[in-house]
Structure 1
Amino acid sequence: MAERAAPRGWRGHGRVVPTVVLGTVVAVGAVGVTAVAGHSSGASDSHAAAAPSVRTATVTRRDLSNSQTVQGHLGFGPVTELKGAGTGTLTKLPANGTTTGRGKALYRVDDRPIPVFYGDTPFFRDLKKVGVVGNDVTVLRNNLSALGYDVGHDVGHEDTARRSADRTRAQGSAFTASLASALKKWQQDMGLEPTGELKAGDVLVLPGPVRVSSVKAQVGDPVAEDILGYVAPKKVITVPVDAQQVSAIEPGDSVTVALPGRDVPGTVSAVGDPGQNDSGQNDSAQPDAGDGSTPKTDVTVLPKRASDVADLDDADVQVEFVSEIHKNVLTVPIGALLALSGGGFAVQRPDGELLRVRTGMFATGLVEISGKGLSAGLDVVVAS
């Protein structure tokens, strides 16, 4: 059957119709491309009638990436409320912005300093009897050791469990004579009564260094009240990401943070459970609010250099997450693609030659291509 030429001067959506075969109009909705193409043999040396003037683009070799940009908030993270323990009257309070230090006093009760230790178990009882075992003893031991005191041999919970009739209570370190001696030396250095015993409320246990964000109590208030609020000592960026998209984000991923007037690098430090909000409830299980909103998962980002955000305490920022990257690939604008009637795609040279291509990643208006006859610097026709 003889090949039928296209009507003279006919154009399809700004693209020249090849004269080899009257092409089929193909709409490629997935990439937003509408093209006209004909290709009877699939060979790369087919030609189309060249237009007197066409718009072209250059095949470029570059890194291509898929990314999503989400608005986040730069600050010191969520506030935790601190309630005092023990008895007595608050006689000195810290100022907003104070950062805690291990072994340093945060506030005073009855004019007595209340130092800070780091750990996960508060001092919920008096520690004075040698042989007492618990995680609170472990906190005491770890902090005195970190402060440079000789705490002696660590009697772990396994050794203690073999000597204990009640194994369920044998968890943590044991309060030994060596530990009591180290406690006494530390108390003396702090200006406290060197008893070698620790009463509940004498030392405040925090999860780590923190920054005082607000002071709620006043001098003269009882210590067993809400005293202050604290936040993380380092600035973080909290980014609420759609739960359906958060699976592509992992701790350790590099991100770009758009600050006012500049971009800085950052790193994902934590990703919340998909479908959960700050209270730990599952958003997807909550009734639909009817506002079209989708469940969010908080992603925590840390600036790689604290100096980059030193001049900002509270700001809305944009964070770009890269989900996939293809390095050193050939790319053309998506509008350069021709959908072939027999399937697949091609690009067209300004002289009308068609080059069949294989497509890869689509991103930011570009498409990754590969195939015979393609190279960086090659001019191709782009739909106008």
Structure 2
Amino acid sequence: MPEEDNRRRRRGRVAAGLAVAVAVPAIIVTALVWTRDVDAAAEEPAETISVGTVPVARTDLSTNRTLTGTLGYGTPRAVRAVREGVITGLPASGATIDRGQSLYQVNDEPVPLFIGAPPLYRTISGTNMTGRDVAMVAKNLGALGYAIGDQPDAGQQVKQTYTEEPDPAPDPAPSGTPPPGTPVTRTAWVTVRDGEGVLTAALSAAITRWQRDVGLPADGVIEAGDLAVLPGAVRVDSLAVQVGDPATGDLMSVTQTTKVITVQAPVTDADALKPGGTVTLRMPDGTETPGEIGETATVAQTPDGAPPGTAQQVSVTITMSDPKAAGRLDGGTVEVRVEGETRADVLAVPVTALLALREGGYAIQLPDGRLIAVATGMFSGGMVEVSGDGVTEGLAVVTAS
């Protein structure tokens, strides 16, 4: 083969279709690598990529980013009915319900709000009954000012007295035992575990006093549906039922009582939105106030109603350092500025000017075809920091578009 043809083949490696993913913190940048082979036997010309030249720029690069958030009270959660009957009382939308206050009424009896966990799942009754639910009741009554006495320590043994309900279809009773269908009172010694409360005589008396005060039957027994147990005080977001409706299903949705900013952020920004990080908030009235990243969802989701192919997002909750910064506004759009790293006075080129070398590393190409190996630094806004021998401000380099 003539030497001239060989030279043509060596020069024939022009432009490209291979993409190389370059990962940096919170950003994924794709650089084009030009590698098209010209086959002398090919009858159809290969597809070409438009190229041009740009000068190497001296500039400042930053990973700061600006996101859009929504002022509100956070994501609503549903409150479901756990007690049969008819709804006889409801709060107004926007009302704030705190510990001990009635969240709604069933059969003309209040269902007060207790704060904590777990929710009630059984009847609280019997001498020295133990459990985390008992501890929750004790903490709430104590916080409401009721004298609950001393609680036994973890590891201590207490003597329980409880009633065992009869078998609905019992066998005939042997001689000397209670007849079938008769409840049996039993006793047992149990060890109090860490985190458990004990239904002592003092706590039972406190329950009776509290029931009398709020208008519940003062019998010292708390049924599972007598309380609404939530993580904190709530603000009523919306009502799902009306007075007179059956107490079934979702009754209302509630939120936290503190105003927050909720951001639906691209997944590529999630690493920069870590809990405890600081941000600058530009409020709907134009004022600026500092904020702190509270909770970042760990599951990415496609926004509701978004068309197919829409990128998934993560929900981020941001609190205002000054809760009064929102004023009387309950909603609105907030600009969220997340501070990142800044590199001042660096040489940079568009990401599309990078070529990935087969032997590893990167290069930029001059208009005459020569390659200059470069080291890459920060990626930001479609630009990449570059350095290397011969890389100077204003140097013309080839870029793809």
TM-score normalised by length of structure 1: 0.62
Specify every segment of 5 or more residues in structure 1 that has no aligned partner in the other structure, as ranges: 1-28, 37-56, 280-288, 336-358, 369-380
SS of the counterpart of 2:268?
A: coil
The residue aligned with 1:139 is: 136
1:196-211 equivalent positions in 2, closer than 5 A: 196-211=220-235
Specify whether residues 306 and 382 from structure 1 end up closer, same or farther in structure 2 by C-alpha distance, changes over 3 A only: farther
Cα distance between partner residues in 1 of 2:345 and 2:195: 64
Amino acid corresponding to residue 335 of structure 2 in structure 1: Q
Specify whether residues 103 and 333 from structure 1 end up closer, same or farther in structure 2 by C-alpha distance, changes over 3 A only: same
The residue aligned with 1:282 is: none
1:211-249 deviation per Cα after TM superposition (whole angstroms, max 9, x unaligned): 111111111222234211111212221212222331122
The residue aligned with 1:123 is: 120
Whether the 8 Å CA contact 2:62–2:380 is kept in 1: the answer is: yes
Cα distance between partner residues in 1 of 2:330 and 2:266: 26
TM-aligned CA deviation for residue 77 of structure 1? 1.8
The residue aligned with 2:72 is: 75
Amino acid corresponding to residue 177 of structure 1 in structure 2: A
Cα distance between partner residues in 2 of 1:278 and 1:192: 46
1:124-149 deviation per Cα after TM superposition (whole angstroms, max 9, x unaligned): 22212012111211110110111122
Root-mean-square deviation over aligned CA pairs? 4.1
Specify whether residues 306 and 157 from structure 1 end up closer, same or farther in structure 2 by C-alpha distance, changes over 3 A only: same
Cα distance between partner residues in 2 of 1:35 and 1:98: 60
Q: Which moved more, 1:225-234 or 1:190-199?
A: 190-199
1:250-269 equivalent positions in 2, closer than 5 A: 250-262=274-286, 263-269=288-294
TM-aligned CA deviation for residue 192 of structure 1? 3.3
The residue aligned with 1:178 is: 202
1:58-117 deviation per Cα after TM superposition (whole angstroms, max 9, x unaligned): x9xxx9953111122222222211112223322111100011111111222222222111
Q: Of 188, 193, 210, which residue of structure 1 is paired with 2:217?
A: 193
Specify every segment of 5 or more residues in structure 2 that has no aligned partner in the other structure, as ranges: 1-31, 33-52, 161-187, 349-375, 386-392, 396-401
Cα distance between partner residues in 1 of 2:278 and 2:84: 48
Cα distance between partner residues in 1 of 2:77 and 2:136: 21
SS of the counterpart of 2:341?
A: strand
Specify whether residues 193 and 301 from structure 1 end up closer, same or farther in structure 2 by C-alpha distance, changes over 3 A only: same
Specify whether residues 225 and 169 from structure 1 end up closer, same or farther in structure 2 by C-alpha distance, changes over 3 A only: farther
The residue aligned with 1:107 is: 104
Whether the 8 Å CA contact 2:274–2:293 is kept in 1: the answer is: yes
Aligned residues: 288
The residue aligned with 1:44 is: none
Cα distance between partner residues in 1 of 2:94 and 2:207: 30
1:307 paired to 2:304: no
1:272 paired to 2:297: yes
Whether the 8 Å CA contact 1:69–1:321 is kept in 2: the answer is: yes
Amino acid corresponding to residue 197 of structure 1 in structure 2: V
SS of the counterpart of 1:144?
A: helix
TM-aligned CA deviation for residue 168 of structure 1? 11
The residue aligned with 1:219 is: 243
1:239 paired to 2:252: no
The residue aligned with 1:341 is: none
Amino acid corresponding to residue 83 of structure 1 in structure 2: R
Q: What percent of counterpart residues are identical?
A: 33
Specify whether residues 247 and 168 from structure 1 end up closer, same or farther in structure 2 by C-alpha distance, changes over 3 A only: farther
Cα distance between partner residues in 2 of 1:118 and 1:265: 29
Whether the 8 Å CA contact 1:332–1:367 is kept in 2: the answer is: no
Specify whether residues 333 and 250 from structure 1 end up closer, same or farther in structure 2 by C-alpha distance, changes over 3 A only: same
Whether the 8 Å CA contact 1:137–1:173 is kept in 2: the answer is: yes
Amino acid corresponding to residue 176 of structure 1 in structure 2: T
Amino acid corresponding to residue 140 of structure 1 in structure 2: V
Specify whether residues 226 and 210 from structure 1 end up closer, same or farther in structure 2 by C-alpha distance, changes over 3 A only: same
1:1-384 equivalent positions in 2, closer than 5 A: 34-35=55-56, 66-160=63-157, 172-262=196-286, 263-273=288-298, 275-277=299-301, 291=309, 293-324=310-341, 331-332=344-345
Amino acid corresponding to residue 271 of structure 1 in structure 2: T
Whether the 8 Å CA contact 1:66–1:363 is kept in 2: the answer is: yes
Whether the 8 Å CA contact 1:333–1:366 is kept in 2: the answer is: no
Q: Which runs of 4+ in 1 moved over 4 A?
A: 160-171, 331-335, 359-368
Q: Which moved more, 1:233-242 or 1:310-319?
A: 310-319
